[in-house]
């Protein structure tokens, strides 16, 4: 039985497609795929990064679906992309001493417990700023819970949902990097908080567009509420986690 390339549909006769160069065996997306992706991201930066960025801001849902189906040869791998972008953003934030998380969290009150809570939050935000690649990776499984629960009938396993949300995380990081000149301009002013919140709104708008376009097997109304819910669920998880942490800190 003839075998065809998952990327360009050309007939295969060896380990690589003679037309586009993709491997004939694209492998299922699983834990081994993610581990190889992380190793690759730590050692290589390839030409596919510009193509992937362009696709993520012109036809994001379609390109992620095609990646999951096997069209991968032209793409920069998602976890690698997050590592590279988070590294760039973390380096910029550290060098220019810009901490968006610290500026977005307000703790009011007085007394020893509040001072302790304030100190803990400041230390935590500083750690995140200095280890942004780790923080970016830790966000991905949390956001994957939302899309996994809301779009289970689409047939993607949880590891594939991690790939989806790695691409979405990359989109958000690119928005942060593009708007970084404004962070620098408004640093240590009240406008920094406003700019950071505007960036969050842009990031969630792009995420909505991506998820809505990706899961086109659902009807328009179902896609709309499922997409909204998939973005709300991770926020609830984060909020509950912060509430538990605050109780632990203040007790």
CB-based contacts of 146, cutoff 8 Å, min separation 6: 229, 230, 231, 232, 233, 234
* pLDDT at 7 exceeding the cut of 80: no
Which domain does 133 fall in, by range?
Answer: 31-250
| pLDDT, average across residues 78-84 | 90
CB-based contacts of 122, cutoff 8 Å, min separation 6: 102
Task: Give tens-digit pLDDT for 106-117.
Answer: 555 566 666 676
The verdict on residue 57 lying in a domain is: yes
| pLDDT, average across residues 165-179 | 96
The verdict on residue 26 lying in a domain is: no
CA–CA gap between residue 206 and residue 215 (Å, rounded): 15
| % of the chain exceeding 90 in pLDDT | 48
The verdict on residue 79 lying in a domain is: yes
| pLDDT, average across residues 156-183 | 96
The verdict on residue 11 lying in a domain is: no
The closest alpha carbon to 136, from 177, 96, 103, belongs to 177
pTM of the entire predicted model = 0.79
The verdict on residue 4 lying in a domain is: no
Number of domains in the chain: 1
The verdict on residue 16 lying in a domain is: no
The verdict on residue 183 lying in a domain is: yes
Residue 191: predicted pLDDT: 92
Residue 49: predicted pLDDT: 86
The verdict on residue 83 lying in a domain is: yes
| DSSP bridge pairs for 23 | 16
CB-based contacts of 237, cutoff 8 Å, min separation 6: 142, 145
């Amino acid at each position: 039985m003839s075998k065809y390339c998952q990327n360009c549909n050309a007939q295969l006769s060896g380990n690589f497609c003679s037309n586009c160069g993709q491997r004939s065996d694209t492998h299922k997306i699983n834990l081994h795929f993610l581990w190889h992706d992380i190793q690759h991201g730590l050692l290589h930066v390839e030409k596919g990064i510009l193509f992937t960025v362009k696709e993520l801001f012109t036809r994001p849902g379609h390109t992620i679906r095609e990646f999951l189906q096997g069209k991968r040869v032209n793409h920069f791998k998602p976890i690698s992309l997050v590592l590279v972008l988070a590294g760039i953003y973390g380096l910029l934030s550290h060098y220019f001493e810009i901490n968006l998380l610290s500026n977005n969290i307000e703790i009011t009150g007085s007394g020893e417990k509040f001072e302790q809570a304030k100190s803990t939050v400041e230390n935590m935000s500083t750690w995140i700023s200095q280890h942004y690649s780790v923080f970016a990776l830790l966000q991905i499984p949390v956001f994957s819970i939302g899309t996994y629960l809301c779009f289970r009938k689409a047939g993607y396993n949880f590891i594939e949902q991690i790939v989806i949300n790695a691409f979405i995380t990359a989109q958000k990081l690119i928005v942060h990097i593009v708007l970084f000149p404004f962070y620098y301009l408004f640093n240590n002013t009240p406008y920094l908080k406003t700019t950071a919140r505007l960036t969050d709104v842009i990031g969630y708008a792009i995420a909505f567009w991506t998820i809505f376009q990706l899961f086109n097997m659902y009807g328009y109304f179902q896609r709309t509420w499922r997409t909204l819910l998939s973005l709300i669920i991770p926020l609830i998880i984060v909020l509950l986690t912060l509430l538990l942490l605050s109780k632990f800190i203040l007790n």
